[in-house]
Structure 1
Amino acid sequence: MTQAQKGICAEPNLHALFLTFNVIDDDAPTMRKKIAQVLALFSHYDEEYYEAMVSGIVAIGTDYWYELYPRSIPQELSPFPRMSCDDRNAPASPGDLFIQIKADRMDICHAIGTEVIQLLQPNVDLYEEVKGFRYLDGRDLTGFVDGTENPKGMHKFNVALVGDQDPDFAGGSYIHIQRYRHSMEKWKQLSVSAQEETFGRTKTNNVEFKGVDKAPFSHTKRTSLKDEQGNSIEMLRQSMPYGDMTIQGLYFVSCAKSPLPFAKMLKSMIFGDENGVYDKLLDFTSAETGGAFFAPSINFIKQQANE
């Protein structure tokens, strides 16, 4: 039976370490083996420190995939859908490998990250590392609960994982990442009611506004999309806040059985509706990175490592 990577549909954790690498040589057989060894590291720490609820994701950048696994390509593999309209941008940034490490102990995230980097050297350069953390009761640093629209229960597996539509890659997931930087001082100048109008739900008790009460520019309006049959266009988010006393933001991670939901959401946010009404939250936060990856099943990674 195909086994998905644990981190794709894992429950929220207290801490995260997001690592993006660029591969600097063309030794694909070695990298295939090393990627399988990263999975073994996750399993080791999960067993050794079971109370920390360790989980991880290893995902391969869409450009690098053709070098790493040239004989087997996911059906919908595609580059990051970079977009720009006025001062709203979704840039693409370098990234051949994306590794997400989550646990309820920051020291465990650090220990795993250290071993991952030791394992992957000298084949890679670390492009970026970001430490994520749970903020209060699962809120973004804007003060609003994050991930409210995430699918629940077994449904999240149907949303996040490739199924019978691409049987060779069943259990895999299309991963998109963006590091958003918030303009916190600008955000704090808004009244609570204006902040709530921007999000489309209440701040304190996280009650979503009724559809007729939502402004067309609200974040929930622009990101809660439906297809032509009226079905919700869904993805599973694994996002977490990051920052220090100077810089704050959200590290966005989405997992889906297709790259299309992310691209449609991004287009709705940046370009807006037929009247050009965009997501007003983008007046207060901006994406500084962007990457598209595919996280294959554990079975696929191990099989390719042995060939």
Structure 2
Amino acid sequence: MTQAQKGICAEPNLHALYLTLIVIDDDAVTMRKKIAQVLALFSHYDEEYYEAMVSGIVAVGTDYWYELYPRSIPQELAPFPIMNSDDRSAPATPGDLFIQIKADRVDICHAIGTRIIELLRPHIDLFEEVKGFRYLDGRDLTGFVDGTENPKGMQKFNVALVGDQDLEFAGGSYIHVQRYRHNMEKWQQLSVATQEETYGRTKADNVEFKSTDKAPFSHTKRTSLKDKDGKSIEILRQSMPYGDMTIQGLYFVSCAKSPQPFTNMLKSMVYGDGEGNYDRLLDFTNAETGGAFFAPSINFIKQQAKE
């Protein structure tokens, strides 16, 4: 049976470490083996520190995929969908490998990250590392609960994982990442009522407004989309806040069985509905990075490491 990487559909944790890596050599055979060893590191720390609820994801950038696994290509593999409109943008930034480490202990995240960098260092440069953390009761630093729209129960597996439509890559997931930087000073100047109108839900108790009461520019309106059959277009988010006393933001991670849901949502946010109604939350936060990756199943990674 195909086994998905644990971190794709894992429950929320207290801490995260997000690593974006650039591969600097062309030794694909060695890299295939070392990626399998990264999975072994996740398993080791998960067993050794089971109370920390360790999980991880190793995902391959769409450009680097053709070098690493040239004989097997996911059907919908595609680059990051760059978008620009007025002062809103969704840029693409370098990234050959994306590694997500999550645990309920920050020291375990650090230990795993250190081991992974030691393992891969001859072959990679570290483009970016971001430390995520759970804020209050699962809120973004804007004060609103994050991930409310996430599918629940078995539905999250249906949303996040490739199925029978691409059998060789069943259990895999299309991963999109963006690091958003918030303008907290500008945001905090808004009244709570205006903040709630911007999100489309209440701040204190996280009650979503009725559809008829939502402003067309609200975040929930622009991200709650339907397909041509009237079914909800869903993604599974593995996002977390990050920051210090100077810089604050959200590290956004989307997991889905196709890249289209993320692309459709991003278009709705950046370009809007054609009547000037873009996602007004983008007036207060800016995407500084963007990457498209594919996280294959554990079975695929281990099999490719033997070839």
Distance in 2, Cα, partners of 1:171 & 1:112 = 24
Q: Distance in 2 between matches of 1:224 and 1:137?
A: 23
The equivalent of 1:122 in structure 2 is: 122
Q: Which residue of 1 aligns with 2:186?
A: 186
Aligned pair 1:170/2:170, yes or no?
yes
Where does residue 134 of structure 2 map in the other structure?
134
Cα separation, 2, equivalents of 1:209 and 1:90: 27
- C-alpha distance in 1 between matches for 2:240 and 2:58: 17
What aligned pairs does 1:88-103 form with structure 2 within 5 A after superposition?
88-103=88-103
* 1:274 CA displacement: 2.5
Letter in 2 for 1:51: E
Q: In the alignment, is residue 258 of structure 1 matched against residue 258 of structure 2?
A: yes
- SS of the equivalent of 2:226 reads coil
SS of aligned partner of 1:178: strand
What residue number does 1:157 align with? 157
Partner SS for 1:277: coil
Structure 1 letter corresponding to 2:260? L
1:2 shift after superposition: 0.1
Aligned partners of 2:193, 2:66: CA distance in 1, in Å? 49
TM-score (norm 1): 1.00
Question: Match of 1:131, SS?
Answer: strand
TM-score (norm. length: structure 2): 1.00
Give 4+ residue runs of structure 1 displaced > 2 Å after superposition.
none
Listed one character per residue, the Cα deviations across residues 241-271 of structure 1 (whole Å, up to 9, x for unaligned) are 0000000000000000000000000000000
Which amino acid letter does the alignment assign opposite residue 155 of structure 2? Answer: H
Q: How far does the alpha carbon of each residue in 1:55-94 deviate from its partner, in whole angstroms, 9 at most, with x for none?
A: 0000000000000000000000000000000000000000
Q: CA RMSD in A?
A: 0.3
Q: Give 1:276 deviation, angstroms.
A: 2.5
Q: Which residue of 1 aligns with 2:39?
A: 39
1:121 Cα deviation after fit = 1.2
How do 1:276-295 residues align onto structure 2 when only pairs under 5 Å count?
276-295=276-295
Question: For the residues of structure 2 that align with 1:306 and 1:212, how far apart are their CA atoms?
Answer: 56
> Cα distance, 1:240 vs. partner?
0.1
Q: Deviations over 1:5-45 (max 9, x none)?
A: 00000000000000000000000000000000000000000
Task: Describe the superposition over 1:118-164 as per-residue Cα deviations: whole angstroms up to 9, x where unpaired.
Answer: 00011000000000000000000000000000000000000000000
| Partner Cα distance (2:37, 2:201) in 1 | 43
Q: Secondary structure at the match of 1:122?
A: helix
**Which residue in 1 is equivalent to 2:110?**
110
Local SS of the residue matching 1:7: coil
Q: How many residues align?
A: 307
Equivalent AA in structure 1 for residue 279 of structure 2: D
Match of 2:199 in 1: 199
Q: CA deviation at 1:292?
A: 0.1
1:207 is displaced (CA, Å) by 0.1
Matches of 1:280 and 1:83, distance apart in 2: 16
Match of 2:68 in 1: 68
Q: How many Å separate the matches in 1 of 2:166 and 2:207?
A: 37
Structure 1 unaligned residues grouped into runs of 5+: none
Q: Could you tell me which residue of structure 2 aligns to residue 275 of structure 1? A: 275
